[in-house]
């Protein structure tokens, strides 16, 4: 079975704090992709990053970084020096070659307070 778990329902931080959003996935497929999306209050999901199962390199993009660890089936997302504009719901998603279907976690609502 394919599953994505985002255990943190809501996180509140003060501006400039670092915050990590957790994502744990389950799949038996050996070829799969992991995604993070941001859903601001406007509602449109915005693509942030994609990782495939054969590439465990961590990635940094500005204040965003991602830690992919197959050993723990996790794909965590860290925002450094958070800003109010980072306030949104963040979704982790799994795409597997076996189903051609995207499985989404329930999302983590991040509130960054000024």
Partner 1 sequence: GAGVSQSPSNKVTEKGKDVELRCDPISGHTALYWYRQSLGQGLEFLIYFQGNSAPDKSGLPSDRFSAERTGGSVSTLTIQRTQQEDSAVYLCASSLGGGLSKNIQYFGAGTRLSVL
Using the rule CB under 8 A, which residue among 77, 107, 110, 112 binds partner 1? Answer: 107
| Least distance CB 19 / partner 1 (angstroms) | 20
Using the rule CB under 8 A, which residue among 1, 41, 101, 114 binds partner 1? Answer: 101
Kindly tell me which of 14 and 47 has the beta carbon lying closer to partner 1: 47
Cα separation of 92 and 3, whole Å? 11
| Least distance CB 113 / partner 1 (angstroms) | 20
Using the rule CB under 8 A, which residue among 1, 28, 41, 42 binds partner 1? Answer: 42
Cα separation of 109 and 10, whole Å? 5
Cα separation of 33 and 40, whole Å? 23
Whole-number Cα distances in Å, 30 to 54, 55, 95: 9, 12, 11
- Check residue 31 for interaction with partner 1 (CB under 8 A): yes
CA proximity to 25, closest of 47, 49, 46, 7? 7
Question: Under the rule (CB under 8 A), what is the footprint of partner 1?
Answer: 31, 33, 35, 37, 42-47, 50, 52, 91, 95, 97, 99-107
């Amino acid at each position: 079975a394919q599953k994505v778990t985002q255990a943190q329902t809501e996180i509140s931080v003060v501006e400039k704090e670092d915050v990590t959003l957790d994502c744990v996935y389950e799949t038996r497929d050996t070829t799969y992709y992991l995604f993070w999306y941001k859903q601001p209050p406007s509602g449109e999901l915005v693509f942030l990053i994609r990782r495939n199962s054969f590439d465990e390199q961590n990635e940094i993009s500005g204040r965003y970084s991602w830690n992919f660890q197959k050993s723990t089936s996790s794909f965590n997302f860290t925002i450094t020096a958070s800003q109010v504009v980072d306030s949104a719901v963040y979704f982790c998603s799994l795409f597997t070659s076996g189903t051609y279907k995207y499985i989404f976690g329930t999302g983590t609502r991040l509130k960054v307070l000024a």
